[in-house]
Amino acid sequence: MLLLGLTGSIATGKSTVSSLLSRPPYSLPIIDADLIARQVVQPGTAGYNAIVRYFGSTTPDLLLPEHGSSSYPKGPPLNRPALGRRVFGQGEERERDRKVLNGIVHPAVRKEMYKQMVWAYLKGHWAIVLDVPLLFESGWERYCGTILVVGVSDPTIQMRRLRDRDVHLSEEDARNRVLSQGNVKEKAERALRRGKGRGVVVWNDGDKETLKRDVERVMQDVRRGSPRWWSLLLWMCPPLAGIAGLVSWWKMRRVQLSWEKEKKKREKSKL
């Protein structure tokens, strides 16, 4: 079973691509890290309690207020815009708080993703989509046989789309969120470094029809690299699937380490 990593930056069209891949002719199961991240911080969960303990005393509007007869037996839901303002942006304090939040959410998300991957394999899917915004940053790239990056060439397009989608965001909020997810052009370069069929990029600067055609083109290449007979063989022979997965992990881990080494050299040369 192919693990197809889907990533990009905020408001580049990644969710649109995810939706396309979930429907015919692809009909792939989607493991949405953002959706899971919301589920693991619902009131009453361990993640919710940890966030309230750490951020509650310094973020007065961390929880949504109760209105009239509304009651929350397990506690009020998190005020996500308020939490976002606390952790997104530049500065040591926000960076520290963002690391704390990630340390709470990411382990719970990974556990749930593993469960969904095993279930998809048992059901015989030839591929599953790992929809992870911070795929490279979180280390998930080494597990993916192929990575699809969705990007736009102009950050102002991202900020405009983000503010159209989330009308409560100010221009500064939108800029902070775009900057916090890294340079999408670097993500594209990093994907292509994996080699043909291992990393593909879709530039979403146009309309949805153009995006749909581009997705169809890249998925044809992906399918050729993972033919149906190979997918069936891996499903019928779990030990072979395990070996294939380990070989892929080893190769992609080498690519990851090579990229990180080169990046450190580039950063040192700027000093």
Q: What is the pLDDT of residues 151-191, one digit of tens each?
A: 988 878 888 888 888 878 878 887 777 777 667 888 999 99
When pLDDT is averaged across residues 95-106 and rounded to a whole number, the result is 89
Q: What domains appear along the chain, each with residue ranges and CATH number?
A: 1-29+126-271 (3.40.50.300), 36-122 (3.40.50.300)
Classify residue 269 as left (phi > 0), alpha (psi -120 to 50) or beta: alpha
CA distances in angstroms from 74 to 41, 44, 71, 103, 217, listed in the order given: 12, 5, 9, 23, 47
Task: For Cα atoms 97, 102, 107, give the angle at the middle one, nearest 5 degrees.
Answer: 150
Which are the contacts of 86, defined by CB distance < 8 A and separation ≥ 6?
55, 59, 62, 94, 97
- Band of pLDDT at residue 211, cut at 50, 70 and 90: very high
d(CA 202, CA 212): 10
Lowest mean pLDDT among 13-17, 74-78, 149-153, 190-194: 74-78
Q: What is the pLDDT of residues 44-69, one digit of tens each?
A: 999 999 999 999 888 888 888 876 55
Half-sphere exposure of residue 218: CA atoms within 13 angstroms, side-chain side: 24
Burial environment of residue 123 by CB neighbours within 10 A (0 to 12, 13 to 18, 19 or more) = exposed
Rg (CA), the chain: 20
> Which of 142, 109, 145 has its CA nearest to residue 129?
145
The gap between the terminal CA atoms of the chain, to the nearest Å, is: 44
- In the chain, % helix, strand, coil (3-state, to 5) comes to 60, 10, 30
Lowest mean pLDDT among 61-65, 124-128, 186-190, 248-252: 61-65
